[in-house]
Amino acid sequence: MITVVGQCVAAFVFGTSVGVLVQRSRWCNTAALRDAMLFKSYRNTKALLVAMMILTLGFTALISVGNGNPMRFDVGINQFIGLFLFGIGMVFAGACTVSSWVKTGEGNIGALWALLFLIVGLFLSSLVWSFSYWPPAGQTMTGHPNLAGLQFGWADALTLQRATGVPALFFGIIQFLGLLFIYRRILHRERATAEGMNPTPAAASVPAADRLTAPPAPSVARLEPQTNTRSPL
């Protein structure tokens, strides 16, 4: 059993590693969604999908053998509405929770400003939390479905494994294949875009692997997708 200090040290070491890797790679979750939607540019989206594939196999494998620490998490409509607001906010701010910390570390005052107002928004909305009414009421979050409170209880790979007797890894492999399908569709779309941009025989002779690394042209002239250069925030 790890001590509280051990937990905090492990978290700090992990966070520091993430900070270095994200700073060097310029990965951004906001860009993973925004650039795919606005520019059909998938540099960050592909990285997100690869991480999700690895994590799905890793987490469900650990759950299958009774290890890991899955979140005991009450599912509810509040997750949909909350992340809907969050999605709008992260595009407006030009940074998600990860990139706002990483960009703050690089000296970006706009990112620090976004973090400060994230804290303000968090605190102001905490004032309307109640134990007895939505959103989301403490007394309805019991781990069991409570439709009147728009809560569906606790449902994940672990509960699925307990209910069916089938190892969580089996379900993880199905999810992995679904994510792999999306990843391959993106590669296919990138290949089609690259071929559309280079219809000449000379361009067509470029190896497919090289063509995949070429960024597609932005569809909106005044906006550019995030590549290796920093966005304003």
Partner 1 sequence: MDFFKKSLDPIVALAIIAVLDIFLFQIVGAWTVGGGETMIAGLFVRALIGAKALNRIPFWHLVFKPTWAYWKIYISLGMGFGALVSAILSKEFYWRVPKHLSEWIMITIGGLLMGVGIRLSFVCNVSTFLGLTPEMNLGGYLAVSGLVIGAWVGSWVYKRVLEA
Residues in 93-152 that interact with partner 1 by CB under 8 A: 93-98, 101-110, 113-127, 129-131, 135-136, 138, 152
Residue type, 128: V
Q: Among residues 42, 65, 88, which one has the least CA distance to residue 227?
A: 42
Show contacts with partner 1 in window 160-189 (CB under 8 A).
Answer: 160, 168, 171-172, 175
Work out whether 15 is an interface residue with partner 1 (CB under 8 A). Answer: yes
Work out whether 9 is an interface residue with partner 1 (CB under 8 A). Answer: yes
Phi, psi of 13 (to 5 degrees): -65, -45
Give the interface segment with partner 1, choosing from 49-57, 184-192, 198-206 (CB under 8 A). 49-57
Q: Which token pair is 115?
A: 């973090």
- Name the minimum Å distance from CB 203 to partner 1: 23
Using the minimum distance from each CB to partner 1, give the nearer residue, 88 or 203.
88
Show contacts with partner 1 in window 185-224 (CB under 8 A).
Answer: 220, 222-223
Q: Return the residue of 40, 64, 66, 85 that touches partner 1, per CB under 8 A.
A: 85
Helix orientation angle between 168-197 and 43-64, rounded to the nearest 10 degrees = 170
Q: Return the residue of 63, 190, 193, 216 that touches partner 1, per CB under 8 A.
A: 63
Q: Return the residue of 40, 86, 173, 218 that touches partner 1, per CB under 8 A.
A: 86
Show contacts with partner 1 in window 28-47 (CB under 8 A).
Answer: 29-30, 33-34, 37-38, 43-44, 46-47
User: How far is the C-alpha of 179 from the C-alpha of 53, rounded, in Å?
Assistant: 6
Q: Which token pair is 49?
A: 């999908």
- Please report the sign of the dihedral spanned by the C-alpha atoms of residue 147, residue 151, residue 153, residue 157: positive
How crowded is residue 115: how many other Cβ atoms within 10 Å of its Cβ? 17
Using the minimum distance from each CB to partner 1, give the nearer residue, 15 or 196.
15
User: How far is the C-alpha of 186 from the C-alpha of 205, rounded, in Å?
Assistant: 21
Give the interface segment with partner 1, choosing from 77-85, 184-192, 193-201, 202-210 (CB under 8 A). 77-85
Using the minimum distance from each CB to partner 1, give the nearer residue, 11 or 206.
11
Question: Coil, strand, or helix at residue 153?
Answer: strand
Give the interface segment with partner 1, choosing from 56-64, 187-195, 204-212 (CB under 8 A). 56-64
User: How far is the C-alpha of 111 from the C-alpha of 101, rounded, in Å?
Assistant: 7
Q: Is 38 exposed, middle or buried (0-12, 13-18, 19+ CB in 10 A)?
A: middle
Residue type, 89: G
Using the minimum distance from each CB to partner 1, give the nearer residue, 97 or 198.
97
